[in-house]
Structure 1
Amino acid sequence: MIDAKKIEQIARQVQDSLPQGIRNLGDDVEKKIRQVLQAQLSRMELVNRDEFDVQTQVLVRTREKLALLEKRLDALEGKQATGSEPQEVSPADVSSETPIVPDVKND
């Protein structure tokens, strides 16, 4: 949700842009604008920047783990086909340039 201070700032800007006669209604107009803004913003189900950044980091770590597991699986499948011992894959073996958007294959 957007910070209450930002909502107040927007409400004041809207109130300041109103003609003088309407501006004199002051508190009533400001309260109504604040209520409408809060209702509309809550319907949009917005997240704050901190929560977005946390989820982005979780996604990056998850993709790195997935890439590591895919490499390990490939190594195990390759060794199983040749009959030799599987080779251990470490996180250092996974490229740091893992794409943010995974390839989507349409079968």
Structure 2
Amino acid sequence: MIDQLAKQLFTDVQQRMQELGNSDTLPASQLKAVLESGLRKLNLVTREEFDAQQAVLLRTREKIDKLEAQLQALMEAERD
């Protein structure tokens, strides 16, 4: 997957550089813009977004575990 992302980014950067005139000395601001454009196309999430979603998933898992335990207790009480 990393190889695929790297190839896609390289292709996008190469294409943008050709659009900009393929100069040998690309200013840092233009290079940054080209890289940011390529990264946006990859549909990546930030570390903060990832961590937030991971926390939501953890809380959801805890709620499901609690509900499963309650359901199990109810089912056992019903059998008695």
The TM-score, its normalising length taken from structure 2, stands at 0.60
User: Which residue number corresponds to residue 78 of structure 1?
Assistant: 76
**Higher Cα Rg: structure 1 or 2?**
1
User: Take 1:81 and 1:44, find their aligned partners in 2: how far apart are those partners?
Assistant: 54
**Following the alignment from structure 2 to structure 1, what is the Cα–Cα distance between the partners of residues 72 and 53?**
28
- For residue 22 of structure 1, what is the amino acid of its counterpart? D
Computed over aligned residues only, the root mean square deviation of the Cα atoms, in angstroms, reads: 2.2
Runs of 4+ in 1 over 2 A off after TM superposition: 33-36
Equivalenced residues, count: 58
Q: Among residues 33, 36, 40, which one is paired with 2:34 in the alignment?
A: 36
- Structure 1 runs not aligned, ≥5 long: 1-20, 83-107
Higher helix share: 2
The answer on 1:22 being equivalent to 2:24 is yes
Q: Which structure ranks higher in relative contact order (CA pairs < 8 Å, sequence separation ≥ 6)?
A: 2
Q: Which runs of 5+ in 2 are unaligned?
A: 1-22
Q: How does 1:1-107 map to 2 (within 5 A)?
A: 22-23=24-25, 26-27=26-27, 30-31=29-30, 33-82=31-80
Q: Secondary structure at the match of 1:35?
A: helix
Partner Cα separation in structure 2 for residue 63 and residue 41 of structure 1: 31
